[in-house]
Amino acid sequence: MRKILEKQLKNLHEDFAKMGFDVASAIQQATNAFENNDEDLAQKVIDNDQNINEQEIYLERKAAQVMALQQPVASDLRILVTILKASSDLERIGDHAVSVARAGLRIKKEKKNKIIEEVIGDMSRHAYGMLKQIIHAYVENDEHLARDVAISDRKTDEYLKKIRKEAFRAMQNDSEFISSGTEYIVAASHIERIGDYVTNVAEWIVYTNTGRIIELG
Amino acid sequence: MDDFITTNDVHLYYGKKEALKGINLSFPAKGINALIGPSGCGKSTYLRVLNRMNDLIPQVTMTGSVKINGIDVYSPKTDTVDLRKKVGMVFQQPNPFPFSIYENVTYGLRIAGIKDKQLLDERVERSLKQAAVWDEVKDDLHRSALSLSGGQQQRVCIARVLAVQPDVILLDEPTSALDPVSSGLIEDMLLTIRDRYTIIIVTHNLQQASRISDRTAFFLNGELIEAGKTKSLFLNPQRQETDDYISGRFG
């Protein structure tokens, strides 16, 4: 009986990590699409979101099934609760990646500000790095790494502040920047939310390890 | 909250074999306490310590102290008949006496010298109602208790314990010989009386322990490994042995 549960937990663990890598790749592609005005790549991110949503539904259904049939307790139950909750966080990150890609599509015909776009690129790469690390922390069940990743979310907030400031300044100086400036702020806000959801995942990794539900960041 | 039952450094030996290795465990008044652990871990032995059922087994020696409501259970002055009126017990196999349902429930009261028919009738009805078996037997209280189903017999046995108005009810795997529906009735019944009695239940059914108990104690090899609120023990046990046992990694 125990063997079945262990196999099912292992499968869910791998499926969750796979979903994490897919979402990370969505962020990476959305960043590239935004920076290079690559319409095809942006569309790919948008189309692929359906696949990410389906992975979340699959994980939720499977986790609920294991709970009902195997009635796990203690650390096994905490692993399942984490998968249930953190898969929703991953799904939301996927949605924000789509929003970044869409902002990139809208901005294509507008007047650009290369300096701000570079900062957005850096911010997005930072969020991508956070997600990759948090998936690593999940796979290795590394509570300390999870906490470090949550701390590094401060940098995302700083990026947002900087981008808002620069965008407002550009918009004040040149009214032709208003459309693109607004999109820069929208994109940066979406990336900032990605950092928050990565922090949520970090909190669930701490829960798996300790049974304590805490607020990081 | 002061503890209603306290046991300190309880060691119990069957001959030379140490079955309980220094148990320190307390229970507050009222509520359901579950004792869990693999076969031979000492949980049933511990339960029997609480109303001196081990006195009946030859070659048993025990040290340590057991106090219930401030009374030293193992004091030479303690009368075991009085003790067992206050600390009732229900066993794994339903063990109704080969009498009528009515006589089963009034047995303890008659021994106590109560003859008042009206009082006896009241106690029978109230106890059978508390034990959630009244509706099924009220039409013929004078039929033999042995003619009832296993689940009904067990509830009549519980009514027999409740009739003498104990403080503590000990149950040693009371549902392991019953079907799921009868087990569910007994679980529901325990939940309705938990505000009035201090209930201690030994169970092999971990789901039963997690469903109904307020506190759980985990025994292993004659030792108390961990005790605490059921919700924290089942979600976040502090000891690896507890996690392993409740997750089915051994036992």
What domains, with CATH codes, occur in chain B?
3-247 (3.40.50.300)
The number of domains in chain A is 1
Residue B156: CB atoms within 10 Å: 23
Q: Of the candidates A5, A75, A212, which has its C-beta nearest B243's C-beta?
A: A75
**Could B210 and A73 be called an inter-chain contact, meaning their C-beta atoms sit closer than 8 Å?**
yes
Strand partners, B31: B198
Is residue B251 predicted with pLDDT exceeding 70? no
Side chain identity at residue B165, one-letter code: Q
> What would the mean pLDDT of B161-177 be, rounded to a whole number?
96
Q: If you search the block for the tokens 């569309």, which residue do you land on?
A: A43
Please answer whether residues A89 and A153 qualify as being in contact, where contact means their C-beta atoms are separated by less than 8 angstroms: no
- Provide the pLDDT confidence category of residue A108 given band limits of 50, 70 and 90: confident
Q: What is the pLDDT of residues B83-142, one digit of tens each?
A: 999 999 999 999 999 999 999 999 999 988 999 999 999 999 999 999 999 999 999 999
Q: What is the pLDDT of residues B20-72, one digit of tens each?
A: 999 999 999 999 999 999 999 999 999 999 999 998 888 999 999 999 999 99
Q: Has residue A35 been placed in a domain? A: yes
What is this structure's pTM? 0.83
- Phi-psi label, residue A112: left if phi above 0, alpha if psi -120 to 50, beta otherwise: beta
Instruction: Write phi, then psi, for A177 (nearest 5 degrees).
Output: -90, -5
Please answer whether residues A22 and A52 qualify as being in contact, where contact means their C-beta atoms are separated by less than 8 angstroms: yes
Question: What angle (nearest 5°) sits at the alpha carbon of residue B78, between those of residues B72 and B79?
Answer: 150
- Provide the pLDDT confidence category of residue B2 given band limits of 50, 70 and 90: confident
Rounded to the nearest integer, the mean pLDDT of chain B is 95
pLDDT, residue A110, reads 86
Nearest-angstrom CA–CA distance, B90 and B131: 12
A69 inside 8 A of chain B by CB: no
Q: Has residue A133 been placed in a domain? A: yes
Is residue B1 predicted with pLDDT exceeding 80? no
Q: Has residue A41 been placed in a domain? A: yes
Q: Which domain holds residue A61?
A: 1-210
Of A110, A8, A113, A101, give the one whose Cα is nearest residue A59. A8
Q: Has residue A217 been placed in a domain? A: no
Please answer whether residues A105 and A39 qualify as being in contact, where contact means their C-beta atoms are separated by less than 8 angstroms: yes
Antiparallel, parallel or unpaired: β B3-14 and B60-68: antiparallel
Of A78, A77, A48, A84, give the one whose Cα is nearest residue A63. A84
| Coil, helix or strand at residue B96 | coil
A68 inside 8 A of chain B by CB: no
Q: If you search the block for the tokens 């869409």, which residue do you land on?
A: A102
Q: Has residue A216 been placed in a domain? A: no
First-to-last C-alpha distance (Å) of chain A: 40
Side chain identity at residue B8, one-letter code: N
Question: What angle (nearest 5°) sits at the alpha carbon of residue A92, between those of residues A14 and A128?
Answer: 70
Side chain identity at residue B198, one-letter code: T
Per-residue HEC secondary structure of A120-177 comes to HHHHHHHHHHHHHHHHHHHHHCCHHHHHHHHHCHHHHHHHHHHHHHHHHHHHHHCHHH
At CB < 8 Å, which residues of chain B contact A? 206-207, 210, 232, 234-237, 242-243, 246-249
Nearest-angstrom CA–CA distance, B134 and B103: 14
First-to-last C-alpha distance (Å) of chain B: 34
Enter the DSSP assignment of B53: G
Please answer whether residues A93 and A197 qualify as being in contact, where contact means their C-beta atoms are separated by less than 8 angstroms: yes
Strand partners, B8: B65
Judging contacts by C-beta atoms under 8 Å, the chain A residues touching residue B248 are 1-2, 5
Q: Has residue A32 been placed in a domain? A: yes
A17 inside 8 A of chain B by CB: no
In chain A, the residue whose alpha carbon lies closest to the alpha carbon of B249 is: A2
Share of chain A above pLDDT 70, in %: 100
Please answer whether residues A108 and A167 qualify as being in contact, where contact means their C-beta atoms are separated by less than 8 angstroms: no
Please answer whether residues B145 and B153 qualify as being in contact, where contact means their C-beta atoms are separated by less than 8 angstroms: yes
In angstroms, the separation between the Cα of residue B249 and the nearest Cα of chain A is: 7
Q: What is the pLDDT of residues A74-107, one digit of tens each?
A: 999 999 999 999 999 999 999 999 999 999 999 9
Nearest-angstrom CA–CA distance, B72 and B24: 15
Nearest-angstrom CA–CA distance, B133 and B130: 8
Nearest-angstrom CA–CA distance, A109 and A176: 12
- Provide the pLDDT confidence category of residue A217 given band limits of 50, 70 and 90: confident
In chain A, the residue whose alpha carbon lies closest to the alpha carbon of B233 is: A74
CATH label of the domain that carries residue A83: 1.20.58.220
Q: Of the candidates A74, A210, A212, which has its C-beta nearest B234's C-beta?
A: A74
